[in-house]
Amino acid sequence: MSSEAISAGIMITGAAIAAAFLVAAILPAIFTAGGTFGTVAHSADNQIRTDFEIIRAFTPTVASGTAPVDIWIKNTGQIRFNSAEIESMDVFFGNYQGIKRLVYTSSPPNEGFFSFIIEGVPGAMYWNPGDTLHINTTRAQNLQSPYYFALVAPNGVEKTHIFGGIGLPKTP
pLDDT at 148: 92
Three-class SS state of 120: coil
In order along its 172 residues, the chain shows pLDDT tens digits of 567 767 777 777 777 777 766 667 776 766 665 556 555 555 566 667 788 999 999 888 776 778 899 999 999 998 999 999 999 999 999 988 889 999 999 888 888 899 999 998 878 899 999 999 999 999 887 788 889 999 999 988 999 999 885 544 444 4
C-alpha distance from residue 24 to each of 15, 17, 71 (Å): 14, 10, 56
Which residue, among 24, 18, 46, 54, has the nearest Cα to 133 in the 3D structure?
54
Looking at residue 108, its pLDDT comes to 84
Beta carbons within 10 angstroms of residue 163's beta carbon: 22
